[in-house]
Each structure stands twice: as structure tokens, then as C-alpha cells.
Amino acid sequence: MNTRDLEWEGPLLVHVSYEATRTQGGVGVVLSQLLASPAFREGCRRTLLVSPLVRPCGLGSYEMSESLERDLEAGGEVLYSGLRRHNPPELARRLRPVEERYDVSFVYGRREAPGGPVEVLLVDLTDVLRGHRVRLGTMPSFLARMRTRLGIDVQLDCRGARSSPWRLASRAWRSLFGERLGGSALVNDLHRKAVHHGLRHAPPLDHDAMMGLVMAEPVFDAVEVLRPEDGSGAVILAQEHLSLPLAYKARLDGGGWCRTVFYAGEVRTPRVVVEYGARPGQVASDNRYYQVQRLGLAQGRTMDEVFPVGSWTSFQVLRGGHQCDVVGAVSESVADELRFLDRGFRARPLTVIPHGHRAVETSWEARDDSRAKVLRHVKAHWGVDCQLLLTRISRDEVCKGLSRDVTVCEYLAELLPKERLPAVLLLVTEWWEKDLSPNIRALRARVEAFNARRTGIHIALINQPTWPAGLDFTRDDLLRATDVSLGQSMYESFGLAQLEALSGGAICVISGVSGARPAVRALCERLGTPEAAYPNLVVADYAAEETRVPPRTLEEWMALSGEELHALERRTAESVARRVVERLPRDERAARELLETGRRLAGQMQWEPLIREQLIPFIIGT
């Protein structure tokens, strides 16, 4: 693959995420499905996936071993790199002036993707973003224009461009070592030591919003020079606060050649309030947040009028998303979060397009075969002759509510009939052993304490990256073998993982605040069975609308103590456990019926019709 292969013709779709080189989460899944669609490829001949070359870690330092350039080299080809001396003249002519203007480096190439190759642009910001300080000379003007023309008031610590000596030193370092000076181990070790000894202030930051703002100008200019000279335009597809700043830059300077699309996949500010609270001493709680949001919307209030979030960078970046050419959301719950965020979203048409579902091909025989493989592994590694298999696959994030799975297991241990014991919960997540997150530490302590009680249920906490190599079963085998799939997130913009085991006949416990819930409820009604009675579904509704008389006021919910919220949560967990036990099949005939009802519901949630009939017209405008 070389520059002669590039077809710089036709409209260009531009998407900013952390998943330009590999699929990691929900954003990557949506992109993969979109790129695999022939209808999409026909409408958008070119796709440019943009990511930071490396994300800040810790307190604003960089670790170049995490550079996405390695992914691009392994899964595609680097066609241009501002970190090396020699590049194709045509690409250097286009990209080098942009790099010099903003003191960044680009890595540009192509990789294979579903449906064919895509272009990739990685942006090295290590010389211009360090902790909360921005060293980009054009940033004050960009922020001022966003404030005066778009009403987006973001405050950043702008220090001006790097000095000439630094730039010269960085250029020399780049020639010698293939990295910018700001990305070097020397500079990052010094930064970490300065922070550790109190010589440099490094407050907790919303790195995503800051990186999106710093990338917006150089990426926009790169898109402009990479677009074809025949005048074909570009579509800027934004899904969250990392990608919205590029859409704002396009609104300011894109003229007639940029279409901006905000298809909200997550609203970070509500998620952070759910995870950590917005006031000192508040505990993580979806119940408090969604009760307050419900009451706030009914009273015509906005989020910053209730929670102290007005100065948050992510809030300011997200609140202006209604100014894009078209606005949509992945779920009704996300749509309501947007409406609570800013009144501008209430005045705009807001298109809700749900995610699709990847149904795992399953027959009764295939299920039995997969189950035998997985249970053999469980026996070999944990010594349990498992009679009931529960699974949870999730990232290590507070909002995923992993501790709720332990609470439900505590009640299941009391409620399960003897023939369903012993049971095993495979709780698959990920962590770095040298630097455990507080969330993993707390979860590990709860799991160890639970297992020590020998209740008949064993919880296996599994670090996915280090799960033994050479497994004789696949992820699909695990999904087919699952009896109960747990997914009790406190924040979930949609929740694809919660439903993956559905087509294998599992009982799927989905979060009541999951974005998937309204879509699933509508499908159940279409199939003639209310959601509450559908045999494969249990809704863990920790934030259900209150039936208390009189109901609590908004102010009372804000003041509710952690102990009171915890008591409400345990009550819901017990209800979840009871409903799971009620739905467990009593014999093979009942289990086969669960397989059929699960397959029937999963079959109504396929990607292709959603992409062809809803998503492509929304994004491309045809």
C-alpha cells in the first residue's frame, strides 16, 4: 500500500475517537458495523479515523510505549509520519505546514476494516498538552470564537506556544529518536517527579475534553488538505466530548464543505455525577441522579442549575452540541440527558437511532457443546462442578456497577434451590496489577470476602488480558454457555454487552437506566409480551420512578444520605435475585423455550436494517 493507492475522491467521513486503530468499546463496535455496510461505503467512499497518538496517563505524563502507531504498523501501513525524516513528497507537501503551524506531528496511513480499507490520522500532542497547561498559540483565539459565536465558554490554562529553543530541541530529538521531546521518557520522568515532590501542580483533569479541544484545529486543517480538490465535502461525525470540538471548528470555518453530525453515544457530565457525585461526600448513585434529572426536566431546569457543573470542561463542550447540522442520540435515555444538559436540545429535533445487536449463532447442540467446554475450564481452574453459570463482561469503570453483581450473588446464595448449586459467576474485567484502580481494589476485597463464606456460589474475578492463553473456547462459546448474564450498570448509554448472551437462551439482567431498555421494551411489545413478563429479561431498575407517597422532592433527593441510598439499592438487588430464580428453567423443555424466545428477541435487533434505513440517511443526509 502506498500513496499511489490513495483515492482522494468522493465525500469523506471524519470520526475522532480513541479507536482509530482497534475496536475497544461501544464506539468501535458502531464504527465496525457502519464500515461493513455496503450502503454506507457507497454513500461515503472515504473514512478517516482520527485518534491522539498517545493519551496522557497518571497526572498528565505520557508513556510512548502506548503509542497507537504500533497498532497501525501491525494492522496496516504508515504512509506518512512527522516523527521520521523521509516521507512521500505529496503527503509532506500537504501535512508538513499544518504540523509546523500547530507544533504537532501526524502519523497518517491506512488499515484494513470491515468492508475495506480506511484512512487513519494519529495526532502527537505531547509538545502542546501537559497536564492542565496548553502550549498552543492559536488556542486563545479558538476559545474566544467558540465563546462569542457558539456560546461555549471553556476556560483552559493557555500558556502560549513553546519557545524557540524548545522547538529546536524537539526537532533534534525527533530526528534522533523518532519522538517529540514532550513524549520522551526524560521529560515525562521529570514531570512525574516534580508532581510527586509538590513542585508542579497536577489537578485531576478531564483529559478527553482537553485533548478534543487541542486536536480540533490541527485535525480540521489536515482534513482540509486531505480532502479531494474536486470540491467534495466532509462529514464530521461527533459522538461525545472528545469529538465535538472538531465539529465546532467546522461550524466556525467549514463554510459550505462540512456537514456536522452529533450522534450522542454518551453524555460524560451525567456519567461523572453518577459515578462520583457532584458535591463533597456524595456517593456513586444512579438513583439520585436520574430522580433529580426527571424532576428537573419536569420543572424546566437544566443540569447546571441543579448540580455545580457549569465550570466543568466536559459540560461546556457538550452543551453546545445542539448547534450541529443534525442532532441524534443512541437512546431515549441519552436524549433526556441532552435535554437536561441544555435547553437548546429541547428546541431541536432529536433523532433517536438505537444500536443493533450481534446475534450469536446458536442451536441446542451448539449450546451443549459450548457449555461442556466452558464448564470443563471452570472445573480445571476453580475446582467447581458448576450447575449454574453466571457471567459479566465489563470494563473497569465505576459506572459499570460491578459491586452490584456481588450483592445479587449474596441474595442468590439464599434463594437458589440446592440443585442449582454450586454456581459460578465469571466476572471478566481488566486491570493493571502494578497500579490497581480504587474500583478494582474495592471489588477484589468484596469478592474475596464473599468467597470466604463458601455460600455455594464462587465468584471468579478474571483479568481478561491475562486470562490463560490457549483457551479451548471462544467468547461466543462463553455467551452460549451462560445461564444468567448480569449487566447492572449505573450509567450505560446503550449496553450492547448486556444483551450478547440473549440469542443463547440466557436470562439477561439489564440495567433500568441502560439506553437499550426503551428499545428492548418496544420490541417486547411488538412480539406481544410485556417487558416485565418476557422470560429472558430481568430489569434491574435501581432508579425506578418513585411510588412513595408523597414522593421525594428534588431537594430531598439531593440531600439523601449514602446510607439511605445503599438501603434502597440492596432492596432492588434482592428483587433482582428473586426474579432471576423465578425465571430459571426447571427442565430441558423450559430451557429450550428460553433459547427460542431469546433468539426471537435478538433477531429483532439486527444492525443492517438500522444502518440502511436510519443511520446512513441521518449521517450522510440522503
**pLDDT tens, residue by residue, 131-183:** 778 999 999 999 999 999 999 999 888 988 899 999 999 999 999 999 999 99
Position 2 scores a pLDDT of: 43
Give the whole-angstrom CA distance, residue 192 versus residue 43: 47
Q: Which of 73, 530, 173, 512 is nearest to 331 (CA)?
A: 512
Position 456 scores a pLDDT of: 96
Position 118 scores a pLDDT of: 92
Position 197 scores a pLDDT of: 82
Output Rg (C-alpha) for the chain, integer angstroms.
25
Domains of the chain: 3-264 (3.40.50), 268-356 (no CATH), 364-605 (3.40.50.2000)
3 state DSSP class of 510: strand
Position 350 scores a pLDDT of: 95
- Series of mean pLDDT values for 10-residue runs along the chain (622 residues): 53 90 73 83 86 81 84 92 93 95 96 91 94 89 96 90 92 92 90 82 74 96 87 88 95 90 93 90 93 97 95 93 96 96 95 88 93 94 95 93 97 96 95 87 96 96 82 89 96 86 94 91 89 92 87 94 94 97 95 94 86 89 74
Residues in the chain: 622
Position 527 scores a pLDDT of: 87
Q: How many CB atoms lie within 10 A of CB 7?
A: 10
DSSP code for 418: G
Q: What is the pLDDT of residues 544-585, one digit of tens each?
A: 988 888 999 999 999 999 999 999 999 999 999 999 999 999
Spatial CB neighbours of 115, under 8 Å, sequence gap ≥ 6: 35, 36, 37, 38, 40, 41
Position 295 scores a pLDDT of: 96
Position 39 scores a pLDDT of: 80
pTM (2 d.p.) = 0.92
Give the whole-angstrom CA distance, residue 138 versus residue 145: 11
Position 4 scores a pLDDT of: 47
Q: Which residue has the cell 456481588?
A: 406
Position 7 scores a pLDDT of: 59
